[in-house]
Amino acid sequence: MGDLVHALGIQWSALIAQMVNFSILIFVLAKFVYKPVLKVIDDRRDTIAASLEKAKEIDQHKERIDAERVAILRKADEEAAALLERAKLESEALRVDVEKVARAQAAQLVTKGMEQLEHERASMVRELQNKLAHAIVLSAEKILRREFSKEDQASFEDELKQNLPSMLS
């Protein structure tokens, strides 16, 4: 055993020195390399996870807003369509009312015009009868070469006025 140890060059001092060296190496690497590197990797992983979570939330928020926007637009479209329909109906009703009133007014105007025309015609016919009766009486005076008294003149004219319409028709 002693020969083997000697042949391999095993020495307690060298062995312990190498163990101490290795311990120092582990300590230095753990303190200055492994822990900081693992920490920065963990931090990065956390940051990425948080960012992904945030991105997911933003996506969800965007989807929600899009859905709300679509719903609002759809509602606005429906309201606009309803409003348009109501406006059409109201305008149609208004048009009918206005037309009815216009027709009534036109009919009233026509009736009034007809009445006025009738009245004017009647007054013209009366005036014509008067003038014609007077002319007939004057003509009769000239034909008969005599002058009627005022009372006769008036009596003839009244009689003529009464009979003229039947005579002219």
Q: In angstroms, what is the minimal distance from the CB of 53 to another protein?
A: 17
User: Pick from 1, 2, 3, 7: which binds another protein (CB under 8 A)?
Assistant: 7
Could you tell me the two tokens for 3? 């020969």
Cβ-based nearer residue to another protein, 10 or 72: 10
Cβ-based nearer residue to another protein, 41 or 49: 41
Q: In angstroms, what is the minimal distance from the CB of 22 to another protein?
A: 6
Q: By C-alpha distance, which of 162, 95, 75 is closest to 126?
A: 162
Q: List binders of another protein among 26-65 (CB under 8 A).
A: 26, 28-30, 32-34, 36-41, 43-44, 47
Cβ-based nearer residue to another protein, 16 or 109: 16
| Residue labelled with tokens 């095993």 | 10
Stretches 14-22, 67-75, 76-84, 98-106: which one binds another protein (CB under 8 A)? 14-22
Cα torsion for 62, 65, 71, 74, to the nearest 10°? Answer: -80
CA distance 92 to 88: 6
Q: Which long-range contacts (CB under 8 A, 24 or more apart) does 148-153 make?
A: none
CA distance 92 to 94: 5
Cβ-based nearer residue to another protein, 39 or 56: 39
Residue 68 is which amino acid?
Answer: E
Cβ-based nearer residue to another protein, 40 or 114: 40
Could you tell me the two tokens for 43? 């931090």
Q: In angstroms, what is the minimal distance from the CB of 33 to another protein?
A: 5
| Residue labelled with tokens 């900081």 | 36
- The site for another protein (CB under 8 A) is made up of 6-11, 13-19, 21-26, 28-30, 32-34, 36-41, 43-44, 47
